[in-house]
Amino acid sequence: MMPLGFTRLDFYYLLPELIVTAGAVALLGGDVLLARGRHRLLTWVGLAFLGAAAVALAFISGREGTVAQGMYSVDGFAVFFKLLFLVAAALTILMSHRYLDVEGARPGEYYFLVLCATLGMMVMAAGVDLVTLFIGLETMAVSFYILVGYIKPSRRSNEASIKYFLLGTFSLGLLLYGMSLLYGLTGSTELRTIATTLAGGRGGPLLALAVMLLVAGMGFKIAAVPFHAWAPDVYEGAPTPITAFISVGSKAASFAMLLRIFFEGLPAFRMDGLGTIFGQPLGWTYFFYVLSIVSMTLGNLAALTQNNLKRMLAYSSIAHAGYLLIGIVAATPRGVMAALVYLMVYTFMQLGAFAIVVLMRRQDVIGDELKDLSGLSVRQPAAAVAMLIFMLSLGGIPPTAGFMGKFSLFAAAIESGYVGLAIIGVLNSAISLYYYVRVVVYMWVRREEAAAPPVVMSRALALVLIVAVAGTLVLGVYPRALFDLAQASASTLGRADQALGLLR
Partner 1 sequence: MRLIWLLPLIPAAGAAVNGLAGVRWFGRAAAGAVACLAMLSAFAVALTASIALIRLPPEARAYDVTLGPWLPPIPLATAHGIGSFAAEWAFRLDPLATVMILVVTGIGLLIHVYATAYMMDEPRGGYARFFCYLNLFCAFMLLLVLASNFLVMFIGWEGVGLCSYLLIGYWYEKGSAATAGRKAFITNRIGDWGFLLGVFGVFHVFGTLDFHAVAQAVSSLPIEQSHFGELSIICLLLFIGATGKSAQIPLFVWLPDAMEGPTPVSALIHAATMVTAGVYMVGRNAVLFQHAPLVLAIIAIVGTLTALMAATIGLVQNDIKRVLAYSTVSQLGYMFLAAGVGAFAASTFHLLTHAFFKALLFLGSGAVIHAMAGEQDMQRMGGLRRFLPVTFVTMMIGALAIAGIPPLAGFFSKDEILLQAFSKNRALWALGSVTALMTAFYMFRLVALTFYGVYRGPSWPRHVPPAVGGPATLSIATAHGVRHPVDPDAHGLAHVPQHDLSHGPAHPVPIGPAAHAHEWHGPHEAPSAMTWPLMALAVGAIVCGFISIPPALGGTNALERFLEPSFGGTPAAATVEHARQPRADAEPATADQASNGREWALMLLAVTLAGAGVAAAWRLYVTRPEIPVRLAARWPGLHSLLWHKYFVDEFYGATLVRSTFASARGLWTFDARVVDGAVNGSGWMTRTVSWFSGIFDRVVVDGLVNFVGWSADEGSLVVRRGQTGLLQNYLLLIVLGVCVFLTVYLFAR
Rounded to an integer, what distance in angstroms lies between the CA atom of residue 175 and that of residue 343?
23
- The Cα–Cα gap between 379 and 373 comes to 9
Handedness of CA 396, 402, 404, 408 (dihedral sign): negative
**Is residue 166 involved in binding partner 1 (CB under 8 A)?**
yes
Position among 103, 190, 233, 264 found at the interface with partner 1 (CB under 8 A): 233
Question: Would you say 299 or 501 has its CB closer to partner 1?
Answer: 299
**Which of residues 18, 22, 172, 301 is near partner 1 by CB under 8 A?**
301
Phi-psi region of 279 (alpha: psi -120 to 50; beta: other; left: phi over 0): left
Q: Which of these, 377, 382, 390, lies nearest to 446 by C-alpha position?
A: 377
Residue choice 145, 227, 354, 390 for contact with partner 1 (CB under 8 A): 227
Would you give the end-to-end CA distance of the chain in angstroms? 14
Tell the smallest beta-carbon distance from residue 276 to partner 1 (Å): 5
Beta carbon nearer to partner 1, 479 or 501: 479
Smallest separation, CB 224 to partner 1 (Å): 9
- Residues numbered 45 to 74 that lie near partner 1 (CB under 8 A) are none
Separation CA 276–CA 122 (nearest Å): 36
| Site size for partner 1 (CB under 8 A) | 44
**Cβ-contact 21, 119 below 8 angstroms:** yes
Contact between 282 and 309 under an 8 Å Cβ cutoff? The reply is no
Check residue 395 for interaction with partner 1 (CB under 8 A).
no
* Interacting positions 405-464 with partner 1 (CB under 8 A): 411, 431
Nearest to 256 by CA among 18, 20, 490, 10: 490
Instruction: Report CA 357 to chain centroid distance, whole Å.
Output: 19
Tell whether residue 226 is a contact of partner 1 (CB under 8 A). Answer: yes
Using the rule CB under 8 A, is 276 a contact of partner 1? yes
Among 220, 245, 346, 410, binds partner 1 (CB under 8 A): 220
Report the relative pairing of strands 276-277 and 280-281 from DSSP bridges: antiparallel
Residue 155, interface with partner 1 (CB under 8 A)? yes
- Work out whether 302 is an interface residue with partner 1 (CB under 8 A): yes
3 vs 279, beta carbon nearer partner 1? 279
CA-to-CA distance for 106 and 246, rounded, in angstroms?
20
182 binds partner 1, rule: CB under 8 A: no
Beta carbons within 10 angstroms of residue 59's beta carbon: 12
Binding positions for partner 1, rule: CB under 8 A:
155, 159, 162-163, 166-167, 170-171, 174, 205, 208-209, 212-213, 215-216, 219-220, 226-227, 229-230, 232-233, 274-279, 282, 287, 298, 301-302, 304-305, 411, 431, 477-480, 483
